[in-house]
Structure 1
Amino acid sequence: MPIYTSEDQLLKRQYDFIIVGGGTAGNVLANRLSENANVSVLIIEAGTDTTENLSVQVPFLGVTLPGSDLDWKYTTVPQAGLDGRVIPFARGLGLGGSSAINLLTYNRGSDDIWNYWAKLTEDEGWSWSKIKKYYLKNHRVVPPADGRDTTGEIDPSIHGDGPLEVSAPGHILPIDDLVVQSSKQLGGRFKYNPDFNSGDCTGVGFMQSTVGSGKRSDSNTAYLQPAIFRPNLDILLNTQVTRLVQSSSSESGPTLTTVELGTQSDKSKRSQVTALKEVILSAGVVGTPQILQLSGVGDASALRSLNIEPVVDLPDVGAHLSDHPLVANYFQVSSEGTWDNVLRDGSILGANMGQWQTTRQGLFVNSPGNTQSYQRLPPDSPALDGITDPASGPLSAHTELIFVNGFAQFGAVKQPPTGNYLTILTGVMSPTSRGSITLTSNDPFASPSINPAILTTNFDIKAMVQAMNDAQTFLAAEPWQKEFKPVVFGELADAKTDADKAALARKASVTINHPSGTARMSPTKAKWGVVDSELRLKGAKGVRVVDASVFPVIPECHIQAAVYIVAERAADLIKTTYGL
């Protein structure tokens, strides 16, 4: 498999399939479609090869990747729900995409979310009973880095035998047992869940992460690298797709199988490659609607205002952007068993890095959090007043808590120079706020306008306040008070009322980087949506979309597993279409 770093190096200009984006979904498709030696595949990635990047490999260093050269470095427009703040909007740039820069959590979502997708799309192929095989095909459980017995932390019997490596935490932290003890003591909404991938995605339990042998497992290492020597698969790096070009037209719509390429280094130069069967857009929640709009697919009046000739009038392109908001809640603790000094003292950090490099053991084999908790709101929650429950069912959560054994910087607050801290990240998992991705110009190298509309509904702000209250309720349990003795810290200490917490949420919230929905699926004959339930672009031929933009509604969990599952099903749909 040749790896090209410039389009000038391409030896041919036609492929059966052209995949736009070498990220979480794109690499799955590249692997599965190129399994057939008679099928030619080109994958085009705007970034570079991440395979040897140490910061990608080391799970604990995942927090350093947003804002790096492996991030598109997008920012949002001023957020009305966040006191007008502009916040970062991290998206992976390079092979692996966001699976190479995320914080590694692997949640496939509840049975309810998949059944809800089936209902929304009127396609039983998305129901859990039909989707389960793709979940099993995608990943496998491997031992944690420390090799300990993980009975009760993860249930291997409900997992699969696929290429992506998934494990329980590989280095136990002092707070992990306190989380489990408190869960079992409190019960109810804080019940202990021995495996969030059981279909019930509520309760408290250990985080499962895309880590094998202490090292990140992403779509590049799990899917693309094993296919690297296939002669029918080409990879083109450092190249952006600037638009899709109409190659023909008929009464049923235009055919958009010609791909225009460009680079940041020479913005005036353009070239083309053509798909004989399909172009598959896997450019992500930002990139996919941007490319569609640049190609004349979107809201016709908005496109004309930017001097783009409409080809397909699809107002939903770029609409319905949804993301999970997050607030970092800080507590000072009496224990010295946190990892705060690792971040303060270069020699301690270096020692941990050295341990990872020589033995694949220690703190750095984990993402920063080992445990998480998903909660349903109390039935009498004011967040639910006057609205239909936005969660997909009783097995799906409204909110999340992530327990971090130190001061985790999310947002503008800096780590204090002394002291030991605990962070609980609170998030809203079933947000009702909806935003958009829209073009700012017809320049394909200009960043689009990104508006996730964070915390702009009554439900979202009140659900976040409930999560913040839940964090303090959980820490009031006897195991915490006996050992860590957490005390609210910083501005949280002054947030005495729900109104105070709502104000703090608006001041401090960021996103968990789980955007979705900007090219959402809908029933074939529905007037809304961007793609049909088999992910084919509505109103056109030759284009399919496969990434988180097609989610009809955001899952109530971390979303990377859902992207992998969608990509696995998409590969089968494509193979069936062409008898492969």
Structure 2
Amino acid sequence: MTSDTYDIVIIGGGTAALVLATRLSEDARVQVVVIECGEDRKDDPQILTPGLWPLLSGSPSDWAFRTVPQKELGNKELQFPQGRVLGGSSAINSFLFTPTSRASIDAWAKLGNKGWGFETFNEALKKAYTFHRSPGNTVGNGPIQLAVHKSEPENTWSKAWIDSLDTLGFPSSDPFSGTVCGPFENPESVDPKRKQRSFSANAYLEPALNRANLTVLTNSTVTRILLKKTGPEDVIADGVQITTSDGLSRAITARKEVILAAGAINSPRLLELSGIGDADLLQRLGIEVMVENPHVGENLQNHVYTGVVFDARDDEKTLDPYFRQEPNAGKAAAEAYAHGTGPLGSSSIVASAQLPFPGIQTDKGQQDLDQLLQSLDIEADLQRSPRTSASFAAANASVIRSILSSPTEASANYVFGPSALDGSPGNHITVAVMLSHPLSKGSVHITSASPEYLTGNGGLEIDPRYLSHPLDLEVLARHVQFTEQAIGRAEPLARRLKPRTELFGDLEQAKQYVRLTAEGSHHYTGTCAMMSRDMGGVVDDELRVYGCANLRICDASIIPIASRANTQAVVYGIAEMGAQIVKRNI
């Protein structure tokens, strides 16, 4: 066994990890090492070409996790993609960059997390990106390059989407405002000059690779955090044990800190394998309990979604031929990409909207919400989730009531694309409807102490418990109804669609549709939550793991209450905040 020593050891080479590595290595006196299980594919055309992102799920760059059967979704097992490559999920996602709301971040501060209010968080996030609003008009000076990219024929569908929602009382919004309530064209983390994906590996890490104080190890698996007892309930992290691609075992020593940034699945996984977690589980698997904390791996949250597909008129141009892989469409896409447009240069999700509880602006809608909230005991249903404390349930319920009751806070995130995506004949548009603030909470736990599983997706039980909280189904079903009965009938969108037989006139029909068709987004959070230990936390507001003063976690797992919309921007903000915190303390 060989040994190496660094000041900072970062476990994981994903979205947050590479931000941390870049920022912390700005100080030449600090020796930093990043340890990533996957490969360095930052120059791979499949990753760099934006429109190829759907091919990356299930590829060697994906951990390809799966859930256990989901009771409320007909016992389906669902995919749970996460990046297994340098750059993590920022290398394989659909690269929508949607900053979250003021209310989402302030909810974290209200749990007692000092310094995590929206203003501070937003200033940190601004360090992450440069938004090219138009040629010569940029906002920010961060590494991640953002722009609105045009994938659709003649660029007319996004305008129809925005104009139609305007007629429903939701004018175009600025997704960076913190108070967005309405439609907008999607900023994407695609460099408009290079026409390539802009992600943590090429935007943050690549310019820093020549620093003598920064080491990056790929194809290297951390099998255990090396913990040493310093008291009855306290340990310190001496470093990590890794296995290299050639099967050799190696110890990496940390002079100052170990930072776990392996994501919402692998971060709790490594804590448990290292002896931090629920004592009963660890003892059953033969793992020595170093720090007992039953909240490790709990509080798993994800945005559940479904979609409504509308048939477009036969004379309308959509992206369906491209997704059906018709030869002429593929040739046209390649030609368009050479000029920086077309579906190869974009996610093909042309616009979004963040919208409030349907009808909340009207007396009828307010009455519907009042009756719904009176019929459900939100806090009691929350406490039925394993190990959800009464204090956290009360705080979480208060946040949700406030959001649902507001005409300017979003309870659903809508994403819009001019195609069916599944190769169906004809022309279509799809409106995906995503629950912004899920109350259903699940868990991820190891089922084996064997390190052999750590290079793959075995030895784990992932159970998000989708729709286990009854309010999630109620809210999502109403948004599905709104999609069909309001958005689908709004002009100018409606005149471009074929007549439609109403499917969701009855709320029970909408609920049944959600149960049959719902999927999980790739927005996993919460499994090492940042809040007090009594409330259910794993880390404090300085991101330190309870019971281990020099072990921090900095990734999506620390998010205590899921933020609305896509999590990419939020994770970059967390990482920039985390880098500032670590710099103050080393």
**TM-score, shorter chain, exceeding 0.5:** yes
CA distance in 2, matches of 1:112, 1:91: 27
How far apart are 1:251 and its partner, in Å? Answer: 5.6
2:166–2:172 CA contact under 8 A, matched in 1: no
Q: What secondary structure sits across from 1:244 in the alignment?
A: strand
2:229–2:290 CA contact under 8 A, matched in 1: no
How far apart are 1:44 and its partner, in Å? Answer: 0.5
How far apart are 1:248 and its partner, in Å? Answer: 4.9
CA distance in 2, matches of 1:284, 1:349: 37
How far apart are 1:197 and its partner, in Å? Answer: 1.1
Q: What secondary structure sits across from 1:478 in the alignment?
A: coil
CA distance in 1, matches of 2:372, 2:203: 41
How far apart are 1:234 and its partner, in Å? Answer: 0.7
Query: 1:21 corresponds to which residue?
Result: 12
Q: What secondary structure sits across from 1:453 in the alignment?
A: coil
Alignment-mate amino acid for residue 242 of structure 1: T
More deviation, 355-364/553-562: 355-364
From 578, 581, 585, the equivalent of 1:573 is 581
How far apart are 1:494 and its partner, in Å? Answer: 5.0
Alignment-mate amino acid for residue 281 of structure 1: L
Alignment-mate amino acid for residue 130 of structure 1: T
How far apart are 1:552 and its partner, in Å? Answer: 1.2
Query: 1:456 corresponds to which residue?
Result: 468
How far apart are 1:336 and its partner, in Å? Answer: 3.1
1:135–1:160 CA contact under 8 A, matched in 2: no
Query: 1:430 corresponds to which residue?
Result: 437
1:92–1:101 CA contact under 8 A, matched in 2: yes
Query: 1:3 corresponds to which residue?
Result: none
Matching of residues 538-557 of structure 1 within 5 Å: 538-557=546-565
How far apart are 1:61 and its partner, in Å? Answer: 1.8
How far apart are 1:560 and its partner, in Å? Answer: 1.0
CA distance in 2, matches of 1:248, 1:312: 9
Query: 1:185 corresponds to which residue?
Result: 167
More deviation, 170-179/324-333: 170-179
From 348, 351, 354, the equivalent of 1:368 is 348
CA distance in 2, matches of 1:47, 1:66: 14
How far apart are 1:527 and its partner, in Å? Answer: 5.4
Query: 1:45 corresponds to which residue?
Result: 36
How far apart are 1:501 and its partner, in Å? Answer: 2.1
Q: What secondary structure sits across from 1:167 in the alignment?
A: strand
How far apart are 1:544 and its partner, in Å? Answer: 0.3
TM-score by length of 2: 0.88
Query: 1:91 corresponds to which residue?
Result: 82
Q: What secondary structure sits across from 1:273 in the alignment?
A: strand
CA distance in 2, matches of 1:486, 1:255: 65
Matching of residues 335-354 of structure 1 within 5 Å: 335-354=315-334
Matching of residues 136-215 of structure 1 within 5 Å: 136-143=126-133, 159-171=139-151, 173-187=155-169, 191-213=170-192, 214-215=195-196
CA distance in 2, matches of 1:463, 1:423: 20
How far apart are 1:358 and its partner, in Å? Answer: 3.3
| Residue 227 (structure 2) pairs with residue 246 (structure 1) | yes
- Cα pair distance change 1:279/1:350, threshold 3 Å: same
Matching of residues 264-413 of structure 1 within 5 Å: 266=247, 269-334=248-313, 335-355=315-335, 358-377=338-357, 378=360, 379=366, 380-381=368-369, 383-385=372-374, 386=376, 387=378, 388=397, 390-391=399-400, 393=403, 394=406, 395-409=408-422
- Cα pair distance change 1:174/1:430, threshold 3 Å: same
Q: What secondary structure sits across from 2:350 in the alignment?
A: strand
Q: What secondary structure sits across from 1:256 in the alignment?
A: strand
Alignment-mate amino acid for residue 219 of structure 1: S
Query: 1:114 corresponds to which residue?
Result: 105
Deviations 1:468-501 (A, max 9, x none): 112111010121222233636xxxx655522222
Query: 1:5 corresponds to which residue?
Result: none
Query: 1:564 corresponds to which residue?
Result: 572
CA distance in 2, matches of 1:230, 1:474: 52
Which blocks of at least 5 consecutive residues in structure 2 are unaligned? 361-365, 379-396
Deviations 1:395-417 (A, max 9, x none): 541112111110124xxxxx32x
From 217, 228, 240, the equivalent of 2:209 is 228
2:334–2:344 CA contact under 8 A, matched in 1: no
How far apart are 1:24 and its partner, in Å? Answer: 0.7
Q: What secondary structure sits across from 2:330 in the alignment?
A: helix
More deviation, 314-323/353-362: 353-362
- Cα pair distance change 1:481/1:346, threshold 3 Å: closer
Deviations 1:420-476 (A, max 9, x none): 111111111111000000111112313411111111121111111112112111010
CA root-mean-square deviation: 2.1
CA distance in 1, matches of 2:266, 2:245: 15
CA distance in 2, matches of 1:397, 1:571: 30
Query: 1:532 corresponds to which residue?
Result: 540
CA distance in 1, matches of 2:86, 2:506: 46
TM-score by length of 1: 0.89
Q: What secondary structure sits across from 2:202 in the alignment?
A: helix
How far apart are 1:349 and its partner, in Å? Answer: 4.8
Matching of residues 475-486 of structure 1 within 5 Å: 475-485=488-498
CA distance in 2, matches of 1:307, 1:372: 48
2:481–2:504 CA contact under 8 A, matched in 1: no
Matching of residues 517-528 of structure 1 within 5 Å: 517-523=526-532, 526=534, 528=536
CA distance in 2, matches of 1:273, 1:85: 41
How far apart are 1:362 and its partner, in Å? Answer: 2.3
| Residue 513 (structure 2) pairs with residue 504 (structure 1) | yes
| Residue 55 (structure 2) pairs with residue 64 (structure 1) | yes
CA distance in 2, matches of 1:253, 1:76: 33
CA distance in 1, matches of 2:109, 2:445: 28
Deviations 1:135-178 (A, max 9, x none): 2111111256xx5x99xxxxx6xx42211111123345331111
CA distance in 2, matches of 1:366, 1:357: 9
CA distance in 2, matches of 1:108, 1:117: 15
Query: 2:384 corresponds to which residue?
Result: none
CA distance in 2, matches of 1:357, 1:196: 26
Alignment-mate amino acid for residue 46 of structure 2: S
2:179–2:409 CA contact under 8 A, matched in 1: yes
Which blocks of at least 5 consecutive residues in structure 1 are unaligned? 1-7, 151-155, 410-414
Deviations 1:78-111 (A, max 9, x none): 0011111000001011011011111111122111
Alignment-mate amino acid for residue 402 of structure 1: V
2:15–2:89 CA contact under 8 A, matched in 1: yes
How far apart are 1:577 and its partner, in Å? Answer: 0.5
Deviations 1:109-144 (A, max 9, x none): 111122111111341x11112222212111111256
CA distance in 2, matches of 1:400, 1:68: 27
CA distance in 2, matches of 1:75, 1:383: 33
Q: What secondary structure sits across from 1:121 in the alignment?
A: coil
CA distance in 2, matches of 1:352, 1:389: 51
Q: What secondary structure sits across from 1:426 in the alignment?
A: strand
Q: What secondary structure sits across from 1:235 in the alignment?
A: strand
CA distance in 2, matches of 1:284, 1:348: 40
CA distance in 2, matches of 1:270, 1:65: 30
Deviations 1:180-199 (A, max 9, x none): 11122111xxx123311101
2:272–2:282 CA contact under 8 A, matched in 1: yes
Deviations 1:293-327 (A, max 9, x none): 00000001111111111110011100000000011
How far apart are 1:356 and its partner, in Å? Answer: 5.6
More deviation, 495-504/432-441: 495-504
Alignment-mate amino acid for residue 249 of structure 1: T
How far apart are 1:383 and its partner, in Å? Answer: 4.9
CA distance in 2, matches of 1:42, 1:356: 41
